[in-house]
Structure 1
């Protein structure tokens, strides 16, 4: 995709992880149990989802490294169950899982060879993609959900180049041409496309994404 390179995605995945870890760090048990910006999800749901996502993407990196088919999740039910377990975990355990899974994913990605990055893997949505897509998949999760934590991070606080790439990516997935996007700041357009609260006047409602 024009405007987004593999190096960009690796950088965003690292910077986004640091942002999310900082935002989630120091949460008290009561703060963990408070609602996130995602309807029906507490911060515990959200952090469990982000931690499980790192483990799942780690499966794809392992697949790319070894050639042994390792799906992100054994089934859609396993993914849902991982999120549902979040509220039953302590905040301390969630923080440890979040930190550990993020570190393991980075270590796995750092160790992948050039040929490994070219290997084909299958996403949870059934798309066959090169492993080079993994850092971008992680970047989207970690940055958008950093906003969802409702800890004072907005789309406007995310890197401009990431926001531009995110707008192009979601617009393509929603089948929208650039000319069909509402006029406004890119961060607000990104929020609208992602089905999050935004300040665009007259933009039609969109369902949630990610």
Structure 2
């Protein structure tokens, strides 16, 4: 199964490696480290860690939908999504690490349990897109890989898999309607496209993405 520059197998591997990067990024953080600002304006690392953990929980809802046919939205409402993020600062470093680890494990086990037929079942994303369950690993890989960088603990776009960066750049440039990209290393171009800090000279500023 392929979609442009990525395959289903690629996305599953990137989801795993991205999750490992996130867990590694927070492994040594104490309370002060977790409470420090992330790369995302207005978000501490606690906010961001809670968002990544809540995203795994939400994707588990779509796994349940694909496995059973029972319509289970990612989030019951926009307020539920916001509440998951806001929950972060109220949790301790250990509680956040446990939530990140447990939610990631539950999602991985759920994905591993889908049959070939269930992977083709349609689900609806939080943005209202109807997609086959085969899109779930790609959705998770974007969240995990990009936010591993956003945590600001030393992971950079250069640490992300080259294939992931190529697929990410292809998707974002298409969604942004960009036909020409600035010259520069792929990690920096991907960071620019995603609205993250980059080193490209004279590249126009883009709004945030993801």
Q: SS where residue 70 of structure 1 aligns?
A: coil
User: Which of 113, 127, 133 is the matching residue for 2:129?
Assistant: 127
The aligned residue for residue 197 of structure 2 is 197
Q: Which 5+ residue runs of structure 2 have no aligned equivalent?
A: none
**SS of the residue 1:94 aligns to:** helix
Asked whether 1:11 is paired with 2:22, we answer no
Q: How far, CA to CA, are the matches of 2:16 and 2:156 in structure 1? A: 18
Q: 1:53 aligns with which of 47, 52, 55?
A: 55
Query: Which stretches of structure 1, 4 residues or more, deviate above 2 A after TM superposition?
Result: none
Output the CA distance in 2 between the equivalents of 1:58 and 1:208.
26
Say which structure, 1 or 2, has more relative contact order (CA 8 Å, 6+ apart).
Answer: 2
Normalising by structure 1, what TM-score?
0.97
In 1, Cα distance between equivalents of 2:171 and 2:4: 10
In structure 2, the partner of 1:81 is: 83
Report the counterpart of residue 151 of structure 1 in structure 2. Answer: 153
Partner residue in 2 for 1:104: 106
Match of 2:22 in 1: 20
Is it true that 1:114 corresponds to 2:116 in the alignment? Answer: yes
Q: Deviations over 1:32-62 (max 9, x none)?
A: 0000111000000000000000000111011
Q: Cα deviation per residue 1:88-139 (whole Å; 9 max; x = unaligned)?
A: 1111111110000000000000000011100000000000001000000000
TM-score by length of 2: 0.97
- Offset of residue 2 of structure 1: 2.1
- CA shift at 1:69, angstroms? 0.2
2:186 is the alignment partner of 1:186: yes
Mark the runs of 5 or more structure 1 residues left unpaired by the alignment.
Answer: none
